[in-house]
Amino acid sequence: MTEILFDDDVPREIKGAALPIVERWAWLVPQWCLWLHVGNTTVLPENGGYALSTTREEYRFARITLTPGWLEEAEREREFGIVHELLHIPIAPMHQLMGTAMEKSENEPYKALVEEQWRKAMEGAVQDLAHALVNHAH
Ligand SMILES: [Zn+2]
């Protein structure tokens, strides 16, 4: 069972809005992920997203970071954003494998092309799954 750990500095209103969503969808987190940290940032991300995640399978944890726009979104969008990030966790080892495989390539243009296509394919799959799950649940 994954332990959900909010950072101490997450504002009460953000934790209050995020915790029920994270708990509702925690079953998406693979069993090897023992700790799911949830934090927030006041820095807007470059890609404009309202949540982001990092996964460290080898240390058995993942982290979701909510950005300033997250709380401003409608409840359905907030849920969608968190489900999207939770879906990145089981996919992260595959994503990291591609990164490791590409490190061996010395063909920089090819490497950049494959990495970008792989990123798009992964984001598309995560987005489609998140939409399907959230729409099915409502
Ligand atoms: Zn994503």
Q: Please write down the HEC assignment for all residues of 9-49.
A: CCCHHHHHHHHHHHHHHHHHCCCCCCEEEEEECCCCCCCCC
Domain regions of the chain by residue span:
3-137
- The single residue listed with the structure tokens 């069972």 is 1
For ligand 1, the distance from its centroid to the CA atom of residue 107, given in whole angstroms, is 26
For ligand 1, the distance from its centroid to the CA atom of residue 123, given in whole angstroms, is 5
pLDDT tens series, the chain, 138 aa: 899 999 999 999 999 999 999 999 999 999 999 999 999 998 887 777 789 999 999 999 999 999 988 999 999 999 999 999 999 999 999 988 888 888 888 899 998 999 899 999 999 999 999 999 999 998
For ligand 1, the distance from its centroid to the CA atom of residue 8, given in whole angstroms, is 25
For ligand 1, the distance from its centroid to the CA atom of residue 106, given in whole angstroms, is 27
> What pLDDT shows up at residue 44?
80
Its pTM stands at: 0.92
For ligand 1, the distance from its centroid to the CA atom of residue 16, given in whole angstroms, is 23
Judge contact between 51 and 81, C-beta under 8 A.
Answer: yes
> What pLDDT shows up at residue 104?
83
> What pLDDT shows up at residue 50?
86
Which helix (DSSP H) or strand (DSSP E) does residue 115 occupy?
A: helix 108-137
For ligand 1, the distance from its centroid to the CA atom of residue 53, given in whole angstroms, is 8
For ligand 1, the distance from its centroid to the CA atom of residue 24, given in whole angstroms, is 19
